[in-house]
A and B are shown apart, each in its own frame.
Chain A
Amino acid sequence: MSAPPPPTRSASNRASLWPGLAALAAATAYLILLLAVEKQTIVLTVLAGGIVVVLLAAWLRLLTPVTRSFAAHEDGLGGFAILAAIVLGLYFHEDHFVLLLVITVMLTTVATLGLNIQFGYAGVLNFAGASFFGIGAYTSAVLNAHTAVPHLIVLVIGGAIAALIGSLLLLPVLRTRGHYAAVVTIAFALLLKTFLEVNDVLGGPQGLQVPGMKILGWSFNDNIELGGITLSFYMNYFVVALALLICAFILVRRLERSWIGLNLDAIRLDEVAASCFGLDIARWKVTAFISGNFLIGIAGALFGMVGSFVAPNNYTFADSLILVSILLLGGIGNPWGLVVATLIVVVVPEKLQTIQEYRFLLYAALVIAVLRFRPEGLLPRPVRRYFSRVPR
């Protein structure tokens, strides 16, 4: 028909690393500033300043090179993002409150990565994210208090139990089309809270204490003394949470960039067409649900140990809705977007104590605004590339 077209992309117009690196450095510095300031008026000024700068950068089209840089150098910039997290942790090495907040962000991100597999890829809505997170936390409460199971294995068991309960719940309805699964998860979220409240073995409404993590005799709940410098005991958990986040992130990335990711997209977008090409709809939905719940459960199990306390009120339907709103806000299917959205949703109300009471109002307004003006989220999901460098 026509002559072979000239190559459209060559190595020479591969985007530069620098815009992405600059943006990452600026974001880290900004985050440190935001976490360091205390006075409400200054917090408010910093937040307003951040919003103005981002809008201005978007208006001046400075964000395009950043996006392209991230697309071209994702692995490298991912490495720098880990470095940024370590710098952030070291900067606040004595500050219990900030470290706890950062750990909360990281573990919430792991949980939303799990939801992302379920909803973002397979299209199975899970309105019981916080409940499965809570199941993980209760698992570590019971196992740490009553058994000698090594605590890293407790994390895995927490994930496994969340996955098991999730699959028992959903196996019967996953074969149906439509949103029955979503309705079942809503019912489960409401049911689990009531169940925990009336169950005396699990502490009833008062909840349970969770003994802190211990690995090979190293107690995580003691401050660390390093040659005259005292590190907050939360640094222990910070390291484990960061490691968990990195593993979850890489796994989700690989999942998306594999035939399984393609299968999940195919069944989300058109079940009938997918089944005409031999895809086993139920199998892939179950796979997505189990692996998502596994991540949520592990994050919850670690969070239980971090907080050293679990109670039914921490894992309500409202918390599940927050997890879903993070997904909508960040950009369904884009793990980077989830990190940004979790930061916004978790950090802002904590720093801005004056809006604590109105935070649900704020989330609702934010989600509506995003769905109205940027329906694919703050960082929309790019087209799948199976490897960082795709042969052309």
Chain B
Amino acid sequence: MTALLEAAALTRRFGGVVALDRLDLAVASNEIVGLIGPNGSGKTTFFNVVTGIYAPDDGRVSFGGTDITRATSRAIYTAGISRTFQRSRLSLPLSIFDNIMIGNHNRLTQGLWFNLMRRRAFRAEFERSVTEVRALLDVFEPELSSRMFEPVAGLPMIDRRRIEICRALISAPKLLLLDEPSAGMTHDETRELMDDIFLVRERNRDLSIVIVEHEMGVIERITDRCVVLNFGRKIAEGPYRAVAADRQVQEAYLGVAQ
């Protein structure tokens, strides 16, 4: 197995709190890895360090063989890692189309002259993008693709999550980081969204996913392998059933038995 993403001895401190403590974590190509652990165990911090929002205090991250430890968020995205956020970070006044196109930044022509003066060429690129966005939205919810130019502000949570995932997928990344996609949704909605994610993966076999999730049903259903964190340290790793049966994991979630 060749690792697509590889973190070695990754450490990040916030003052006295050690959010990531010499974490080793590898994700293979085509793999879906569940990242689980109690609140505050460092899952989101791991995403933020990998995507360059926080710099690590120690350790290394490499992606596809290239070192990205201190790369900017921009370079990391360009390399092929894209993500969603735990608390939905869509731009509410912008339309569905606009929000998804933000994720497509690197593939759009960004020159001032092109954008202002070559409107015919711009129109061609725009129409190509509309087709692309429509095709992607149709996988998730055809209803949304007919409302592409309406603002995101009025949409329910599940649609916002779908749009966030579309925004992360539009640039055809190699690795998708999903930060609690089920937060704020009902069981049924969560199941629907997971079906959608499966569908996307069916279409794009090369996509690897790391998913942070508290909903264990989701983790059991979709992950190939789980990594359990507690206080920033890896305490278990393996298929879901194995880690769920692990004594240390149970203690981390439920406390130490008397």
List chain A positions with a Cβ less than 8 A from chain B: 1-5, 7-8, 251, 254-255, 258-260, 262-263, 265-266, 269-270, 272-280, 287, 291, 383-387, 390-392
Q: Assess the A265–B167 pair: CB atoms within 8 A.
A: no
- Of B72, B93, B94, B119, which is in contact with the most chain A CB atoms at under 10 Å from its CB? B93
Task: Please name all residues of chain B whose beta carbon is closer than 8 Å to the beta carbon of A390 when the two chains form the complex.
Answer: 149
Chain A neighbourhood of B109, CB < 8 A: 259
Give the contacting residue for A266; candidates B102, B112, B151; CB below 8 A.
Answer: B102
CB distance from B174 to the nearest CB of A (A): 14
Q: Is B103 in contact with chain A by the CB < 8 A criterion?
A: yes
Count how many pairs of residues, one from A and one from B, have CB atoms less than 8 Å apart in the complex: 111
**How far, in Å, is A268 (CB) from chain B's closest CB?**
9
How many angstroms between the C-alpha atoms of A5 and B101 in the bound complex? 23
Interface residues of B (CB under 8 A from A): 51-53, 72-74, 77-78, 82-83, 85, 89, 91-95, 98, 101-103, 105-106, 108-110, 112, 115-116, 119, 122-123, 126-127, 130, 141-143, 146-147, 149-151, 167, 171
Asked whether B77 lies within 8 Å of A277 as measured between CB atoms, the reply is yes
**Which residue in chain B gives the minimum CB-CB distance to A381?**
B93
Chain A contacts for B73, CB-based, 8 A: 275-276, 278
A8 and B74 CA atoms in complex are apart in Å by: 38
Is the beta-carbon distance between B149 and A276 smaller than 8 angstroms? no
In contact, B89 and A270 (Cβ under 8 angstroms): yes
The residue of chain A having its C-beta at the shortest distance from the C-beta of B53 within the complex is A272
Complex A-B: 23 CB contacts under 8 Å? A4-B142, A5-B142, A251-B116, A254-B116, A255-B115, A258-B122, A260-B112, A269-B91, A269-B94, A272-B53, A274-B102, A275-B52, A276-B52, A276-B73, A277-B167, A278-B73, A280-B74, A287-B112, A291-B112, A383-B94, A383-B151, A386-B123, A391-B130
Q: Is the CB of A384 within 8 A of B146?
A: no
- Identify which of A1, A2, A278, A291 contacts B105 (C-beta below 8 A): A278
Which residue of the partner chain B has the closest CB to A6? B146
Partner of B74, one of A270, A273, A279: A279
**Known contacts A2-B143, A273-B85; 8 further A-B pairs (Cβ under 8 A):** A258-B115, A273-B89, A277-B82, A277-B105, A277-B167, A278-B73, A383-B95, A384-B98
- Rounded to whole angstroms, the CA-CA distance of A280 and B119 in the bound complex is 23
User: By the criterion CB–CB under 8 Å, are A278 and B141 in contact?
Assistant: no
Q: B74, B77, B122 — which one has the most chain A CB atoms within 10 A of its CB?
A: B74
| Alpha-carbon separation in the docked complex, A258 to B113 (Å) | 11
